[in-house]
Chains A and B, each alone.
Chain A
Amino acid sequence: MALDKFQIAQRIAKELKDGFYVNLGIGIPTLVANYVPEGINVTLQSENGLLGMGPFPQEGKQDADLINAGKQTITTIPGSSFFDSAMSFGMIRSGKVDLTVLGAMEVSEKGDIANWKIPGKMVKGMGGAMDLVASAKNIVVAMMHTNPKGESKLLKECQLPITGIRCIKKIVTELAVLEIGEEGFILLERAPGVTVEEIMSKTAGHLIVEGEVPEMKF
């Protein structure tokens, strides 16, 4: 069974380590915050200027001055701090943020990522994505294995304009967990009941399968 988006988030949450500072992108990455394992404390960074992002506010407690990078109303938690946008990207650029999780339209077998532009269709801008992928030391991509047309999003080379080069370390899709190695995508885990053959058939880039590939555990 392929994972749903909540299970993808749940699997990514297993990458969190105690004490991590984490930046979560919009979409599936945001859901990761709901699955932080017991006994692990992480601090969420929102690049518009907040460390220590709390849950969404209760009705009536929302404040227009307090939003996340997705422009959603949020709250602070004990120990939160605010800062300006230059300092925010300063902590990203200098490697203080331990883990970045973001969505993608395409990832190449070399670790290039495309997620900001579809020429002629969608030109909204890159926001903070280019800064994040250029600097984060540990980037996990959360995405579907194929696009709505059924075409693989794990490619030899990105076809869309790229956001960053050789920056992605790990990918979690509804079918698999993969790592970027020297030679291509290394298959680490399968979704429960999903075959290696199915993953192979939906991966356009070079897929490396070494020995028995275990099923994901939650």
Chain B
Amino acid sequence: MSKIFQNAEDAIADIHDGAVLMLGGFGLCGIPENCITAIVKKGVKQLTCISNNAGVDDFGIGLMLQQKQVKKMISSYVGENAEFERQLLSGELEVELIPQGTLATRCMAAGYGMPAIYTPAGVGTEVAEGKEVRNFNGKDYLLEMAFDADFAIVKAWKGDTMGNLIFKDTARNFNPLMAMAGKITIAEVEHLVPAGALDPNHIHTPGIYVQRIFEGKDYEKRIEQLTLSK
């Protein structure tokens, strides 16, 4: 069975209202631009999005927020987005803020088949409310559950027809973790190559984790904070 899809519209065609999505990226770096555009076009609603950030007003997940497609965001940092703030304050949008390392590790746990992890992040803070605290070797840890997502949507630099993925620079971030964690993982890649074209030593995500792959197009790769040496 081929994993290859022609484009983002085909790859996301069965995402339904109320689905739980993981979306890779840190800020606007390494986000699945093509799939986000296709989800906006499809108009599915009541989505739960697990993503480190929520994009900016007119790019990334911000585009889905504009169309009021998101019911709940699970993120670590959501600044830089006025529409997000408006929906949050008006109560239209539910938001769960969790520490960044906890977010990453809850993805990792799902991908490694572990139901939960213990982490010290958030002990003694409002993040700990309602969570089991356990002491190991004199230090307190919180029990945090693995995520359960219907779809993981990731962006890689190169991928092959077997679904093997290679990420580039800091665009790697949450992408390989989420790729391992989705029930169905959809990967959009800048370059889709035949099996055998990638050195097996260099694969970051083995193809077993990737159910659908396509070559994306027209990447904008917007830079949030262009900072240059003087």
Contact = CB atoms under 8 A, between A and B. Distances in A.
B177 A86 contact: yes
Contact of A48 (B122, B123, B173): B173
Given A58-B228, A73-B227, A131-B121, 7 more contacts: A71-B27, A93-B119, A124-B79, A125-B97, A130-B101, A134-B120, A164-B123
A47 B100 contact: yes
A70 interface: yes
A131 B77 contact: no
Contacts of A68: 170
Contacts of B177: 84-86
Contacts of A123: 78, 88, 97
A85 B174 contact: yes
Given A59-B228, A84-B176, A165-B124, A125 B170 contact: no
Contact of B225 (A73, A112, A125, A161): A73
Interface in B91-144: 97-105, 107-108, 119-127
A130 B127 contact: yes
Interface stretch (B8-16, B35-43, B195-203, B216-224): B216-224
Contact of B100 (A59, A62, A131): A131
Given A67-B224, A86-B107, A46 B120 contact: no
B227 A135 contact: no
A164 B119 CA distance: 13
Interface stretch (A49-57, A189-197, A205-213): A49-57
A72 B225 CA distance: 5
Interface of A is mostly: loop
A122 B169 CA distance: 31
B29 A67 contact: yes
Contacts of A82: 167, 169-170, 172
B119 A72 contact: no
A4 to B, nearest CB: 19
B26 A48 contact: yes
Contacts of B122: 130, 134
A127 B107 contact: no
Contacts of B48: none
B76 A50 contact: no
Contacts of B104: 84-86, 88-89
Interface string A60-87: 0011111111111110100000111110
Nearest to B126: A161
A56 B227 contact: yes
Interface string B167-192: 11111111111000000000000000
Nearest to B179: A84
Interface of B: 26-30, 52, 75-79, 88, 97-105, 107-108, 119-127, 157, 167-177, 204, 221-229
A139 B202 CA distance: 36
Nearest to A46: B170
Contact of A65 (B52, B77, B168, B225): B168
Contacts of B120: 93, 134-135
Given A124-B78, A125-B77, A130-B127, A84 B169 contact: no
Interface in A154-210: 161-165
Contacts of B121: 93, 130-131, 134-135
Contacts of B27: 48, 67, 71
Residue from B52, B127, B228 whose CB has the most chain A CB atoms within 10 Å = B228
A126 interface: yes
Nearest to B222: A64
A92 interface: yes
Contacts of A163: 125
A67 B170 contact: yes
Contact of B223 (A59, A73, A134): A73
A67 B225 contact: yes
A46 B28 CA distance: 16
B101 A89 contact: yes
Contacts of B228: 56-59, 62, 73
